[in-house]
Structure 1
């Protein structure tokens, strides 16, 4: 078990768009990401959050409820999104201790490559759809603060920075 350090905002790598994965993701890296996510009590972790600037993430939205459902999404593409948005508070392992309201579609259709190399497409809704969109944002250099209006963002950033001192 290897728990890797999670980058914290405002690390500039969290604002960079990631490169597509062009070869197999090493199994030990995927295991490290799951170990890191579980150790941090998270439900998702994107590669750039540990400094790997490639388009993939791991997630397990059910493990806290006793129903593990680990997934690896490599080079994910959101093919469609429901037009009806929903606002919910979101936390982020790279911005610990801060919850911010984020508006996202309630459901998405995603295409991705699994760790074994198989291509999948599926519909997701509810919390799983939200988690996918959150991790997908990380692949595009977007953090939860980027979803806020300027004044709200300044307040949230200030609150976060005060907690870090």
Structure 2
């Protein structure tokens, strides 16, 4: 569940009804939101990040939605982006570098790659989350648009 749905459920009073509006990664809810915002800032700034598999899957929802909201280019959606990306540097990278890159791509801006290894201290499965179509990506992304039709026809 992404940022918009989570805030909509909070506005409706989802907490008082006992519903869990996002997956429990660790700790109290205010720490979870802070952790997601910090991880999202790092991911947008560095374009790639290594973390646990559970956190990577949870972060991917927000990583997809932040690009989707930024592409809408309205003051309301810019406010939502600004509330999630607290770093001015991350916002600058999102608007100047990432939006032109994802102009033709409608969804699937990020991917989670399972590393098939465990962290030694607590045996947590590790993963890499990265944005696609960037220089130096681990595996080339599938093409979109007309290039996809040619790719599939081969």
* TM-score relative to the length of structure 2: 0.27
* TM-score relative to the length of structure 1: 0.26
Rg larger in 1 or in 2?
2
Structure 1 or 2: more strand by fraction: 1
Structure 1 or 2: more helix by fraction: 2
